[in-house]
Structures are given as C-alpha cells and as structure tokens.
C-alpha cells in the first residue's frame, strides 16, 4: 500500500490550505486506486499545532516527540503532498522552518506534489519561483503540475470547476510519479542522529 504524507502549513482554523491539501490527497488516492492493484493511505501532518516545537528545534537542534513523529511520518512515506499559504512571495515561515529541520537528504527522489493558497491569483507564480526551487535543492521528484488556489477559486461555479481540473491533473501526476519512483524508502531512525543542545554544549568542555 502506498503511503502519502500530506503536510499542511495553514495558520487559520478552518484553513483553505488544509482544504486544498485534503482535495489533492483525495485526487491522488483516487488516481492510484484506478491502477491495477493500487491502494493508498493518507497521513496528515498539520504544522500549526507544531509551531512552537518547530521553532524550538531550530534553536536547539532537538525535536520534541510530537514533532519527531511528524517528521518520521513524512520521511517514511512513499510520496508527499505539501501545501503552504503564500507570504511575501514565498512559502510561509512555518513551512520553510519545517523543511529546514528535516534532514536535507530525507526527501531525495521522493515524489512530491506542491501547492499553495493566497488571497489573489497574482501570488500564483510563487509556486514556480519560490517553492519548487526549495524541493529541487532537496532533490525531491516534484511533479510538473503545481496547484495554486486563490480566494476566488473557491467562489463561483466556473472557478471551482477550473480548480477541480487542476487538482485532478495534479493527483494523476503524483500517481504516475509514484509508479515510476526510484526512491528507496527511508526509516527515520536511519537518518543522522540529531543531538540535543545540552549535549552539544557539553562537548565544548573537552
């Protein structure tokens, strides 16, 4: 069974970012299940409840249990759906910080579907100019179709139909990428150990 980790960096509740993440996950699962013998499950990782732990991990190098579990869920998945709101022409600080505390080799060759939400369509280029390059640096296998949803895309029927089309295409892209993936599944405990801050300071005395 294929495991898809779905990371949502939405800051509000309810969140259009989480809504888009759910829709993309449903589309990917549907596309996988259309394949012979295909089956998939989804693991959700919401970053908002982990915000304080993410900042602490950046400052100390130590991940608290809930954050470590979230990181492991992403690292050990077969594919990733990553959705962030757009702030200042890029992904949110929370989303970027989560990637910063994840081992830089953990997403190598992982099929990734990237998406973003924003107030207006003028932010849509952030996917290509600010978000995709981050995952390219991490050597992830990012699918061609990135999905951006502005506030208006949730409005009239015509706009919703257009968004639905982009979501279906992105889900199909991710299903294809999973089938063609050369990724070797990783175990979180096989990644380099992250030492806590106290141990690092203790080593200075020797």
- Burial bucket for residue 28 (CB in 10 Å: 0-12, 13-18, 19+): buried
State mean pLDDT over 25-53: 96
The CA distance from 179 to 111, in Å, is: 10
- The residues, any chain, with a CB within 8 Å of residue 71's CB and separated by 6 or more, are 63, 101, 102, 188
In the block, residue with structure tokens 């063609």: 180
Query: Does the CA dihedral 8-93-72-134 come out positive or negative?
Result: positive
Per-residue confidence (pLDDT) for residue 202, from 0 to 100: 58
Q: Residue 102 and residue 68: Cα distance in Å, rounded?
A: 10
Q: How many CB atoms lie within 10 A of CB 158?
A: 8
* pLDDT higher than threshold 60 for residue 118: yes
Q: Supply the mean pLDDT for the chain.
A: 90
Tell me how crowded residue 100 is: count the other CB atoms within 10 A of its CB: 13
Strands (E), the chain: 2-8, 40-46, 79-87, 90-91, 111-118, 141-142, 147-150
Least confident of 86-90, 96-100, 178-182, 201-205: 201-205
Pairing status of strand 2-8 against strand 79-87:
parallel
CA–CA dist 148, 152 (Å, integer): 11
Is residue 80 helix, strand or coil? Answer: strand
Can you tell me the distance from the alpha carbon of 26 to that of 58, in angstroms, rounded to the nearest whole number? 32
CA dist 148 → 33, 63, 69, 111, 196 (Å): 25, 31, 28, 18, 38
Q: What's the rounded mean pLDDT across residues 62-86? A: 97
pLDDT at residue 93, rounded to an integer: 96
Q: Is 149 helix (H, G, I), strand (E, B) or coil?
A: strand
Highest mean pLDDT, choosing among 112-121, 157-166, 179-188 = 112-121
């Amino acid at each position: 069974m294929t495991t898809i980790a779905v990371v949502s960096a939405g800051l509000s509740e309810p969140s259009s970012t989480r809504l888009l993440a759910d829709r993309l996950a449903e589309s990917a699962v549907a596309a996988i299940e259309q394949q012979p013998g295909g089956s998939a499950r989804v693991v959700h990782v919401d970053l908002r409840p982990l915000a304080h732990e993410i900042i602490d991990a950046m400052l100390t190098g130590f991940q608290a249990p809930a954050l470590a579990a979230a990181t492991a869920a992403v690292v050990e998945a077969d594919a990733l759906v990553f959705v962030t709101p757009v702030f200042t022409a890029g992904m949110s600080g929370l989303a970027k910080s989560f990637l910063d505390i994840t081992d830089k080799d953990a997403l190598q060759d992982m099929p990734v579907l990237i998406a973003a939400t924003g107030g207006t369509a003028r932010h849509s280029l952030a996917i290509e100019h600010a978000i995709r390059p981050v995952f390219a640096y991490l050597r992830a296998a990012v699918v061609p179709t990135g999905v951006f949803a502005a506030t208006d895309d949730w409005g009239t029927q015509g706009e919703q139909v257009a968004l639905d089309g982009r979501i279906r295409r992105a889900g199909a892209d991710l299903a294809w990428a999973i089938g063609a993936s050369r990724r070797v599944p990783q175990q979180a405990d096989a990644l380099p150990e992250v030492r806590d801050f106290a141990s690092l300071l203790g080593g200075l005395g020797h």
